[in-house]
């Protein structure tokens, strides 16, 4: 993992995924609760501190929580959030992503998810990544399929659960499917 656990920046074809700092506070305030609306600068500061506290607990082979702001390359606006969560479920690291509606259906979620997998398996050295989505969220279901995750069961409410492990990831990488 990066020497600076509080700052990580990852690139895809169209996006920059990066951990935020106080220099990003106005964008964090605008996008932290983007589905409900902006939060105050004070709340954004608390969110940044919370994320940095979580990030400081990450270590090789184990993610506590790692949240990235998603930025379209060449733009100065956060368009969503993605990351890896190791604290929401015992012994699981869960992939997550959420993009502003205006940026959906452009392949950005797939780019985020694919880059998160490469970071998780190649740099952090995780063994397995889990994911899930609402049963009617066909777009997220398709993203997980595209990145090689396999559905293995359902939640009690019918929501599908997925996983990919390092062997599956490496097989896809060797086959140039990722």
**pTM of the full structure:** 0.91
Per-residue pLDDT tens over the stretch 74-124: 999 999 999 999 987 668 999 999 999 999 999 999 999 999 999 999 999
Nearest CA to 92 out of 38, 130, 122, 66 is that of 130
Question: Rg for the chain (alpha carbons), in Å?
Answer: 16
CATH, residue 110: 3.40.630.30
**Cα separations in angstroms, 128 against 91, 112, 163:** 10, 17, 7
Question: Whose structure tokens read 């398709």?
Answer: 142
Query: What is the pLDDT of the chain when averaged over all its residues?
Result: 92
Residue 1 forms part of a structural domain: no
Positive or negative, the Cα torsion across 31, 141, 150, 117?
A: negative
How many domains are there within the chain? 1
Q: What is the pLDDT of residues 62-71, one digit of tens each?
A: 999 999 999 9
Predicted local confidence at residue 1, as pLDDT: 42
Q: 166 lies in a domain?
A: yes
pLDDT value at residue 21: 93
Query: In this structure, is residue 67 part of a structural domain?
Result: yes
């Amino acid at each position: 993992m990066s020497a600076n656990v509080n700052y990580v920046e990852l690139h895809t074809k169209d996006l920059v995924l990066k951990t935020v700092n106080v220099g990003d506070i106005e964008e964090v305030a605008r996008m932290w609760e983007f589905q409900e609306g902006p939060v105050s600068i004070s709340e954004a500061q608390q969110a940044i501190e919370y994320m940095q506290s979580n990030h400081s607990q990450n270590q090789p082979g184990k993610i506590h929580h790692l949240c990235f702001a998603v930025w379209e390359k060449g733009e100065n606006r956060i368009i969503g959030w993605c990351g890896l969560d190791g604290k929401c479920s015992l012994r699981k690291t869960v992939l997550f992503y959420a993009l502003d509606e205006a940026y959906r259906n452009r392949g950005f979620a797939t780019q985020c998810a694919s880059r998160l997998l490469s970071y998780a398996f190649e740099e952090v050295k995780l063994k397995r990544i889990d994911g899930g989505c609402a049963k009617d969220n066909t777009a997220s279901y398709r993203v997980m399929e595209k990145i090689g995750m396999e559905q293995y069961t359902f939640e009690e409410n019918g929501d599908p659960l997925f996983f990919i492990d390092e062997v599956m990831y490496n097989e896809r990488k060797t086959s140039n499917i990722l």
